[in-house]
Structure 1
Amino acid sequence: MSFQDEARAGERAMRAVFAPTPLLRNDMLSARFGADIWLKREDLSPVRSYKLRGAFNAMRKVDAGDATFVCASAGNHAQGVAYMCKHFGARGVIFMPVTTPQQKIMKTQMFGGDHVEVRLTGDYFDDTLASAQAFSAKVGARFLSPFDDEDVIEGQASVAVEIEAQLGRLPDRIILPVGGGGLSAGTRSYFGDRIAYTFVEPSGATSLADAVKAGEPVDVSPINTFVDGAAVAKIGDRTFARLSSIDPAEIVDIAEDRICKTIIDMLNVEGVVLEPAGALAIEALSNVADQIKGRTVVCIASGGNFDFERLPEVKERAQRYAGIKKYFILRMPQRPGALKDFLNILGPDDDIARFEYLKKSARNFGSVLIGIETKRPENFDRFFSALDAQGFTYTDITNDETLAQFVI
């Protein structure tokens, strides 16, 4: 059978386990971009991501009840494998880094029940992966890669099968998040050249763009792991083989702080909970705004496993990206009335979010860490002009990542 036929067969078989995820038109985004924008809501799957598709497809092709499956994952892939191990009655051994949040461990165990054993090993994912592969080879188990596996790629292509059926026609463009490339490889292999594509990576992990440029997969370490669902240092060999011919112009990368703004907007306006990787495709609409007017566009919201303990960080990063929150170190004169002089500089829309003396030992001056929130970025122009006019000495550290790690 052709790849398309295999993908359709896999999609039909999945219906015994879970329903198709919704394809929903988004009025807010459609109006904003003057296009027909649809969201493929993989965040509404049983494990809140598309990862169970590849796991199901790989397991259905073997006698899963007598098999042992092994994977290494700290997130969505682990949960997808666990879910399917329970469904097929298979044994699963899931290796996770020691640093994995307890919430993710508990969810993986919950989905797998008695069929899954979770082993915590290694401080870093590379160590975890090596342990999983060594164990798999030792016991003769089936190692399930989260993306670099032909059966997994074929299973992820079921997303494309559903889109075509639900839309009743082909979209003009699909926007896909890229990590290891399993979803992108499956979708592109299914649709071929019948539609246009935009592949989206986080700026801190551009493994697809670098591979296309080099003509082969390359390691782009060190990577920024904030967008953990797409933070892959090296794209898979099998996935790249299916993506190697794409035009570099089809690939965009998006700053991690910028993704945070989309997470907050979708939560506050639409009531949709997305993880960072799940927001990538939606945020990328701005990158192709001129190309999509009047067109039908599908954005794949790849996952919604968002840890709400991260919400303050996400809000913080979104505000900093939008230019409405800044941090600076102020040299505060140690004299009566100095603090009052500073407070009088604040405008009606300005609010102090952080105020902390870093050093009081100097006789004449003290260093103060200050965080200011405001309603419009241009308010800071007036604020800093007023500081200069009154002779205050200050250093803006908002975008100084190294310094911010220590003091913010």
Structure 2
Amino acid sequence: MPQRYIKKILDARVYDVAVESPITHARILSRRFNNTILLKREDLQPVFSFKLRGAYNKIRQLSEEEKERGVISASAGNHAQGVALAAHRLGIKATIVMPQTTPEIKVNSVRGHGAKVVLKGDAFDEASAYAQELVAKKGLTYIPPYDDEEVIAGQGTVAMEMLWQHTQPLHAVFIPVGGGGLIAGMAAYIKYLRPEVKVIGVEPEDSNCLQAALKAGKRVVLDEVGIFADGVAVRQIGKHPWEICRSCVDEVITVTTDEICAAIKDVFDDTRSIAEPAGALAVAGIKKYAQREAIEGVNLIGVISGANMNFDRLRYVSERTEIGEEREAILAVTIPERPGSFKMFIKALHKRNITEFNYRYSDQQDARIFVGVQIQAGGLGREELVKELNDTGYTVLDLTDNDVAKQHIRHMVGGHAPAVVNERVFQFEFPERPGALMKFLMSLGTRWNISMFHYRNHGAAYSRVLMGAQVEDDELEEFQGMLARIGFRYEEMTDDPAYRLFLGN
């Protein structure tokens, strides 16, 4: 099956719109991991993503009748821009259905390429369903983002370029995975010409549809997907990509949000370019693989798949980078509430740098501080730090892996509220668009008192809120029914240790 894609890839005419992207030597990363790490720079395409290749290859092969009717696609970002530019170059009318949560930078980019934008729904599934309605109603030709042979062949030209650019021995190629179009096209070509080269997919831990499929031996549908790396937030690997991936992909590595943020910084350090979260997946995978396998002196290539990053997301990325590199430990420490305690605690750190320090008076006996402490890369010294503090007599809770602490608590540390009783805490996700926060607040009604609220806009399609409400035990079922009617995804966090230490009673 994969072999029949080779001719399609060789025949793909993508260079009417795409450029032959360079391979950049990541010198800093290479020195750090004692391997030659190379980056295939698909972020340098005219739409800052590889998606242009597959979209153009598909559209140019349509019949004259199909071109005359116009094309349509559903996408939250990179595929939309690829379809818009490809259609513009070929003189074809294009309609792109995008979720209402799509960042303005991407909407404006699609419009800038001459396409008509229709905003529909809060997520891709709703936008996709509406696109299919328009296909049926207006006879438009649908351009799939990944589950199509011609799209896969277009993406496969990335591997064709890579192998003629790099003729030296190659240990492994790392490829980000969403719906699977890129890794399928590249894997088919690589395994045909260089079967000894490992093809390794990289996915976020919370969007691992290919890893789940390989484990099950068949395509599976994830219950839900993470929202940070929106470019690969796909619940099921495509049918056509799966036919290739099940036999041509050697393994899939998953990475955390913090590791993705650290990889974005790594790409910036070596290239002075900013990859989007999905675009930095390959680098995060290379780092994890090199550490796991303890390999040295080999050539590793990662695909930087896109750079459509909202500027206001950089604050969040920067915040999480040190933890992603495992250079920072986040701790909750209980110290005596008396003069001189801070000074004694600083001495107990033995000249380690403090990255963050939050405190507010709570009671006369104990003070609880939220502190970030710099440690060695790779998490070295974290256990030693906790042990030293424990041995000195401090009660320490390691919050480095606690998502609520990193998302909310570090920005909210302000002490307990003794007057607040029956407080229950929930973390919500809701679509980020104008008026969404107001709609969320208005939906809560007035029956239950809101005792705590924290919201931050990270420039993503979805935002998170941490909320406390005073709910009597016998009212809990009714309160949860109200939350269900609102329809936002939520999780109760009343027993979260970070909340209970710094904010709860």
TM-score by length of structure 2 reads 0.71
Q: 1:390 and 1:58, CA in 2 relative to 1: closer, same or farther beyond 3 A?
A: same
Q: 1:274 and 1:403, CA in 2 relative to 1: closer, same or farther beyond 3 A?
A: closer
The superposition leaves residues 335-376 of structure 1 with CA deviations (integer Å, 9 ceiling, x where unpaired) of 44444444444443322524143x73x4544544x2323253
Counterparts of 2:224 and 2:317 in 1: how far apart (Å)?
A: 22
Aligned amino acid, residue 38 of structure 1: L
SS at match of 2:247: coil
Q: Which has the higher helix share?
A: 1
SS at match of 1:211: helix
Q: 1:84 and 1:388, CA in 2 relative to 1: closer, same or farther beyond 3 A?
A: same
The superposition leaves residues 45-72 of structure 1 with CA deviations (integer Å, 9 ceiling, x where unpaired) of 1111100111101110123752322222
Counterparts of 1:356-371 in structure 2, within 5 Å, are: 356-357=359-360, 360=362, 362-368=363-369, 370-371=370-371
Structure 1 residue 229, shift from structure 2 partner: 2.0
Counterparts of 1:41-190 in structure 2, within 5 Å, are: 41-62=41-62, 63=64, 66-110=68-112, 112-113=113-114, 116-167=115-166, 171=170, 173-190=172-189
SS at match of 2:400: coil
RMSD: 2.9
Partner of 1:259: 260
Partner of 1:228: 230
Are the equivalent residues in 2 in contact too, given 1:345–1:383 (CA < 8 A)?
no
Are the equivalent residues in 2 in contact too, given 1:34–1:294 (CA < 8 A)?
yes
TM-score by length of structure 1 reads 0.86
Counterparts of 1:197-346 in structure 2, within 5 Å, are: 197-246=199-248, 249-289=250-290, 290=293, 295-331=298-334, 333-346=336-349
Are the equivalent residues in 1 in contact too, given 2:180–2:241 (CA < 8 A)?
yes
| Percent identity (aligned) | 33
Counterparts of 1:291 and 1:400 in 2: how far apart (Å)?
A: 28
Aligned amino acid, residue 262 of structure 1: A
Structure number with higher relative contact order (C-alpha < 8 Å, ≥ 6 residues apart): 1
Structure 1 residue 387, shift from structure 2 partner: 4.2
Counterparts of 1:154 and 1:266 in 2: how far apart (Å)?
A: 27
Aligned amino acid, residue 19 of structure 1: V
The superposition leaves residues 278-337 of structure 1 with CA deviations (integer Å, 9 ceiling, x where unpaired) of 222233234544597555443222112223322232233221233332333344544444
Counterparts of 2:162 and 2:381 in 1: how far apart (Å)?
A: 45
Q: Tell me, which stretches of 5 or more residues in structure 1 are unaligned?
A: none
Counterparts of 1:355 and 1:281 in 2: how far apart (Å)?
A: 35
Counterparts of 2:355 and 2:251 in 1: how far apart (Å)?
A: 42
SS at match of 1:245: helix
Are the equivalent residues in 2 in contact too, given 1:219–1:233 (CA < 8 A)?
yes
Aligned amino acid, residue 120 of structure 2: T
Q: 1:169 and 1:337, CA in 2 relative to 1: closer, same or farther beyond 3 A?
A: closer
Q: 1:354 and 1:98, CA in 2 relative to 1: closer, same or farther beyond 3 A?
A: farther
Counterparts of 1:258 and 1:330 in 2: how far apart (Å)?
A: 25
Q: 1:102 and 1:139, CA in 2 relative to 1: closer, same or farther beyond 3 A?
A: same
Q: 1:34 and 1:61, CA in 2 relative to 1: closer, same or farther beyond 3 A?
A: same
Are the equivalent residues in 2 in contact too, given 1:347–1:383 (CA < 8 A)?
no
Matched, 1:396 2:398: yes
Q: Which moved more, 1:195-204 or 1:293-302?
A: 293-302
Q: 1:399 and 1:20, CA in 2 relative to 1: closer, same or farther beyond 3 A?
A: same
Structure 1 residue 7, shift from structure 2 partner: 1.7
SS at match of 1:157: helix
Counterparts of 1:341 and 1:291 in 2: how far apart (Å)?
A: 40
Aligned amino acid, residue 40 of structure 2: K
SS at match of 1:244: helix
Q: 1:56 and 1:379, CA in 2 relative to 1: closer, same or farther beyond 3 A?
A: same
SS at match of 2:211: helix
Q: Tell me, which stretches of 5 or more residues in structure 2 are unaligned?
A: 411-505
Structure 1 residue 220, shift from structure 2 partner: 1.6
Q: 1:268 and 1:24, CA in 2 relative to 1: closer, same or farther beyond 3 A?
A: closer
Are the equivalent residues in 2 in contact too, given 1:208–1:235 (CA < 8 A)?
yes
Counterparts of 1:189 and 1:2 in 2: how far apart (Å)?
A: 9
Partner of 1:23: 23
The superposition leaves residues 381-403 of structure 1 with CA deviations (integer Å, 9 ceiling, x where unpaired) of 56545644564444332212245
